Amino acid sequence: MRPLRGDVQRGPGLPGACRAGMRLAPKTGANEMSLQQAQRRAWNLARTLMVEILIIQFDDRRFGVLEAAEFDGDPQAIITTYDPFAA
């Protein structure tokens, strides 16, 4: 299998993928999402994984979704919790 053009040469500056014009994905996998998108994603994850999911707010218009067991930030950032076992 041939390596991608951007991965062939690496120099002291940017990684090969950047020199080849490719955009690097964020390492966290996080994307900006609206509250509505976050609510849909949180509900879907809670029902699919059967774990408690949180929606947290970063700033006025950015929200994130993650498993409750993984959250170790400010509790005031939590918007809502989706618990698939709640009655």
34-75 pLDDT tens trace: 899 999 999 999 999 999 999 999 888 889 899 999 999 889
pTM of the model: 0.62
d(CA 82, CA 23): 33
Question: What rounded mean pLDDT belongs to the chain?
Answer: 76
pLDDT at site 21: 53
- Range of the structural domain that residue 11 is part of: 1-29
User: Same structural domain for residues 20 and 37?
Assistant: no
Residues 65-87 have a mean pLDDT of 90
User: Same structural domain for residues 14 and 49?
Assistant: no
d(CA 68, CA 7): 37
User: Same structural domain for residues 87 and 57?
Assistant: yes
